Amino acid sequence: MTNDGIILVTGGSRGIGAATAVMLAERGHRVVVVDIVPETPAGANASVLVWPESFDVAREESVTSGVAAIEEKYGPITGLVNAAGVFGKMHSLERIRMENWDREVNIDLRGTFLVARAVGVRMAARRHGAIVNVASVAGMTSGPIHAYTAAKAGVIQLTLSMAGEWGRAGVRVNAVSPGFTRTVALQAGIDSDAMSEERLSRNAAMGRLVQPSEVAEAIVWLLSPMSSAITGINLPVDAGFLAGSTWDSYWGLPNGGSKS
């Protein structure tokens, strides 16, 4: 990624995508945000350009025509952030409706693949570029969000395969896996008592939720020359959720000290 081209952020109107788009622009990059319902991210400066047309990551024609039109108007895409995604309902396996399963997998996994492929082949032809896919710690653990966990596990594996495919063409592909992140959507769930902040954060080693800006920092770093020898990794940004999640099987996480 260089300042000469543009950075495309899918799902960039809200959540982690919005936080990343704003941060990239603040650091001097030209950013193009696409979304199914395009809106200017809160706090964005003039370097954040919102593509006015609906961009459906799950539809191949929407992706291929959109990427071509964006490059024709703004120039080559040198960085890509695949942040578009949906979080499904928590259900037991027998209650999952296949239309809901298909929607989550189509957006979270198929959409990531379609956008990364459409952009990545162009980067490979130019022999330069960096891609960051937003996965999730849900794709590394288990939980009652079966389509989401399967899709995000697929994103992690897809990232590894694309890194191998395009590495010698000068394209790096990495993933970040956020833990429970205080997006507007998650905060709304907490405020309505549909979710418990204490339950969400108690198994994290750091005892708290992740901030969207913290995930954005990791994404910006993976796009930057500072990570120039890194490709094919999945970086958890989870306040230590993976490190702490099994401690309940013992005595629980220490509260600022150790137990013997």
Strands 30-34 and 129-134: unpaired
pLDDT at position 132 is 98
The answer to whether residue 260 sits within a structural domain is no
Q: What average pLDDT score do residues 34-39 get?
A: 97
* SS3 category, 10: strand
**Lowest mean pLDDT: which of 4-8, 136-140, 254-258?**
254-258
The answer to whether residue 258 sits within a structural domain is no
The answer to whether residue 218 sits within a structural domain is yes
Domain containing 205: what range?
A: 6-249
The answer to whether residue 257 sits within a structural domain is no
Nearest to residue 92, comparing CAs of 47, 33, 143?
A: 143
Q: What average pLDDT score do residues 23-48 get?
A: 96
* pLDDT band (50, 70, 90) for residue 260: very low
The answer to whether residue 19 sits within a structural domain is yes
- Which residue, chain included where needed, has tokens 């960051």? 132
pLDDT digits (tens, 9 = 90+) for 95-150: 888 989 899 999 999 999 999 999 999 999 999 999 999 999 999 999 888 999 99
- Pair of tokens at residue 127: 């022999």
pLDDT digits (tens, 9 = 90+) for 52-86: 999 999 999 999 999 999 999 999 999 999 999 99
- Pair of tokens at residue 5: 């081209």
Of the candidates 51, 87, 113, 148, the residue annotated as catalytic is: 148
Q: How far is CA 35 from CA 12, 32, 68, 111, 137, in A?
A: 6, 10, 16, 12, 23
Which tops the pLDDT comparison, 260 or 208? Answer: 208
Within 11-140, strands assigned E span: 30-34, 48-50, 77-82, 129-134
pLDDT at position 256 is 67
Note if 74 is an active site residue.
Answer: no
The answer to whether residue 83 sits within a structural domain is yes
Can you give the pTM of this predicted structure? 0.94
Instruction: List the CATH number of the domain containing 43.
Output: 3.40.50.720
The answer to whether residue 259 sits within a structural domain is no
The answer to whether residue 155 sits within a structural domain is yes
The CA distance from 184 to 207, in Å, is 20
- Pair of tokens at residue 27: 């650091």
* Domain count for the chain: 1
Nearest to residue 62, comparing CAs of 118, 127, 137?
A: 118
